Structure 1
Amino acid sequence: MTFRLRAARASDLEPLYEMAKLTGGGFTNLPADRKALASKLDRAEQAFARDEDRLGDDQFVLILENTQTGAVRGTCQMFSQVGQQWPFYSYRLSTLSQHSQELDRTVRAEILGLTTDLEGASEVGGLFLHPNERAGGLGLLLARSRYLFIAMHRARFADRVLAELRGIIDDRGGSPFWDGVAGRFFGMTFQEADYFNAINGNQFIADLMPKHPVYVAMLNDDARSVIGLPHPTGRAAMTMLENEGFSYDGYVDIFDGGPTMLARTDQVKSVKEAKHATVEAVDCEGGERALLATSHLDGFRSCYGERCINPDGSVTIDATAAETLDVQPGDIVWSVAR
């Protein structure tokens, strides 16, 4: 079977909704709500159609499809700048040291401070792969295609990029972090707050969240133990992010305490190493395995394939990839080693 990523369309609403019902909660960028998903697709359509090649307030949605059946099997998203429609809140974990000369004792306390430090950064998120397709490197195809898209449209993204990983969710669908921190002030379960945020945005956090720092030592054991930890299903995603150059710098999600990973956009491996070249021929055999992409904005397509880099700087790709991407000699493709 052959898979490719492409720009999302309004007709993808029902497949996206069916996938959203499989996420299990805590997945703000893919809520199981048709109206919210339709709004995302509409916003993505506007982003793909925007002519100005500069930084804006865009949301791009990509779709993974089986080229033989046309079935939608995954999705991912990119935001050009977070915090433009409403504040982008995070908790920042830091340490406060205090010393008493009389006791000759130094006490170090970990503190969670509410911050909007990451406002204005780009974000990669919303990655979801259908459970039946979690093999064959399709998760990596979804993740890294976002970076090729950024490289191909660099002027539309900021100098920093972040990725939020879902935090620990318990067997009942709740969040130990939410229950120990914000849930004490809102009178809402994690599921209720997460759904409200996905549909309406997080302005209610600004309205009701206490602005004073939270001392970690005052939280219960369950809440303390999950700060900065990804959901078990997100550990592989965290490793992929680290391989791309992202790192954890103490920022955590205000809902579930999951880690926020950060990188300089131009230092992300798949952005930095992406190359574009003219297709010389489509008969490469035994070449280097690579991620290939072509076209601009709403015509964007990407897939796995083989590339042979020619002495003159052009590239030869395999016939299957050429058919999947609908390219021929003379077209431009971007690529990065798999």
Structure 2
Amino acid sequence: MAPHFNMQILRPIKNTDFAALKQIAIESGHGFTSLPVDDNLLQDKISRSENSFSKQVETPFDEGYLFVLEDTKTNEIVGTTAIEAAVGTQVPLYHYHLGKTVHHSSTLNVYNTVEILSMCNDYTGRSEICTLFLREQYRKGLAGRFLSRIRFAFMADQSRRFSDTVIAEMRGVSDAQGHSPFWQWLQEHFFSIEFPQADHLVGLGDKVFISELMPKYPIYANLLSPEAQAVIGHVHEKTKPALRLLQKEGFEHRGYVDLFDAGPTIEARLENIRTVQESYIVSVEIVDSINCGQTYAISNQKLNDFRAVFTDNVLFDEKAEILKINRKEAQALNLENADTVRIFAL
């Protein structure tokens, strides 16, 4: 039974969360391709996640783990966060890689370095963090940071289910109508469909048109419109806080950008991610009341019964490697005395 006090608990999505997921899909709007407003697709996402959590896995393949953040006071779903175990294994994952080519003539004494965009599938098989969304009224406080970082704790505990490299595709620059300057150029020359439509098709998993219509040869960046060149590798204004958070975790941009809006894809090795390196596995001691003022994210290290919360109703004794935890939080995490948890300071 859910405890009757205000706390936010992260858990795997269930079939009964469909209506809440649909509401979040509606609120997330343009450019949030991983949650399309389509009943069948959302239902598939839930079933796929339930199957992934219950599946025996030796090496990552095509699993998708979708979590929801539930407010215990209202029983409302207030946010989502997800991990794809191995991208591009079922449907190809395309990127542009920004490289350089040199045009040199010693006869004419001309030396030009030109940036080129080459289409590739270099991130096939990598794990991807995605689908982080928090409803507007819950965006103050630590919930957003918790949703972003807790995934790394889960991945560290279930590392054989994931690749040793983790990527994140960041949303590129587009205007209020969802139009991207980068897409504008591609559309004029190759596609003849609007950006929101192309984006929606990708969200539906229909990527065949990419390989059919995308230019097969590298594109010289200096041939693009100035507006398109200006946004390569840049993120949407609203995505800047998320990018900063991941850069703090050790994610870097290695020149890979999205095919449609040219937003950067960033990467890190799982073992080098700050949250993984700075988290502790400790055993718990359940107490009736405690408060230390320092907020910790705590996960119960389970798979199907995975639960995580963030709270300051704990006291962490680093020397003894013991976490004293309030009874209510312990119940929310399905913990008993001497169980182990993974914690990190939020």
Q: When the two structures are superposed, what TM-score results if normalisation uses the length of structure 2?
A: 0.93
Runs (4 or more) in structure 1 with deviation over 6 Å come to none
User: How has the CA–CA distance of structure 1 residues 285 and 242 changed in structure 2, closer, same or farther, with 3 Å as cutoff?
Assistant: same
1:284 Cα deviation from its structure 2 partner = 4.1
Match of 1:93 in 2: 98
CA deviation profile, 1:40-73 (whole Å, cap 9, x unmatched): 1111011001023432321000001111111011
Do the aligned residues in 2 keep the contact of 1:177 with 1:256 (CA within 8 Å)?
yes
The CA RMSD over aligned residues, in Å, is 1.6
Q: Deviations over 1:264-310 (max 9, x none)?
A: 11111112222222212335432642110014222111111234125
Q: Distance in 1 between matches of 2:59 and 2:317?
A: 31
Post-superposition shift, 1:174?
A: 1.4
Classify the secondary structure of the residue corresponding to 2:173. Answer: coil
Task: Provide the C-alpha distance between the structure 1 equivalents of 2:269 and 2:292, rounded to a whole number of angstroms.
Answer: 34
8 A Cα contact 1:5 1:62, kept in partner:
yes
Q: Secondary structure at the match of 1:35?
A: helix
* Conserved? CA contact 1:54–1:156, under 8 Å: yes
**Which range moved further: 208-217 or 313-322?**
313-322
Who is 2:189 aligned against? 184
Q: Are 1:298 and 2:304 an aligned pair?
A: yes
The superposition leaves residues 175-200 of structure 1 with CA deviations (integer Å, 9 ceiling, x where unpaired) of: 11111125632221111111111113
Match of 1:333 among 325, 341, 346: 341
CA distance in 1, matches of 2:339, 2:59: 24
Q: Using the TM superposition, give the Cα deviation of residue 111 of structure 1 relative to its aligned residue in structure 2, in angstroms.
A: 0.8
Q: Which residue of 2 aligns with 1:146?
A: 151
Q: Give the Cα separation in 2 of the matches to 1:309 and 1:34.
A: 47
Aligned to 1:106: 111
- 1:250 corresponds to 2:255: yes
Q: Distance in 1 between matches of 2:17 and 2:261?
A: 29
1:33 aligns with 2:41: no
Report the AA paired with residue 293 of structure 1.
S
The separation in 2 between residues aligned to 1:2 and 1:173, in whole angstroms, is 35
Deviation at 1:84, TM superposition (A): 0.6
Q: How far does residue 108 in structure 1 lie from its aligned partner after superposition?
A: 1.1
Supply the AA of the counterpart residue of 1:291: A
Structural mapping, 1:222-241, within 5 Å: 222-241=227-246
- Measure, in 2, the Cα distance between the counterparts of 1:271 and 1:123: 16
Query: For residues 183 and 165 of structure 1, do their structure 2 counterparts lie closer, same or farther at Cα, with a shift above 3 Å needed?
Result: farther
Letter in 1 for 2:324: T
Letter in 2 for 1:240: L
Partners of 1:293 and 1:209 lie apart in 2 by: 43
Q: What is the aligned counterpart of 2:292 among 277, 280, 286?
A: 286
Q: Distance in 2 between matches of 1:115 and 1:183?
A: 22
Equivalenced residues, count: 338
Alignment of 1:59-138 (within 5 A): 59-138=64-143
| Identity fraction in percent | 34
Query: 1:297 & 1:184 partners in 2: Cα distance?
Result: 48
Aligned 1:250-269 pairs, distance under 5 A: 250-269=255-274
| Structure 1 residue 321 corresponds to structure 2 residue 326 | no
Does residue 16 (structure 1) correspond to residue 21 (structure 2)? The answer is yes
**What amino acid maps onto 2:107 in structure 1?**
E
Q: How far off its partner does 1:244 sit? A: 0.5
Residue 311 of structure 1 deviates from its aligned partner by: 3.5
Distance 1:7 1:307, change over 3 A: farther
Matched, 1:308 2:316: yes
Task: Find the counterpart in structure 2 of residue 210 from structure 1.
Answer: 215
What one-letter code is carried by the residue in structure 2 that aligns with 1:312?
A
Does the CA-based 8 Å contact 2:61-2:125 persist in structure 1?
Answer: no
3-state DSSP class of the match of 1:304? strand
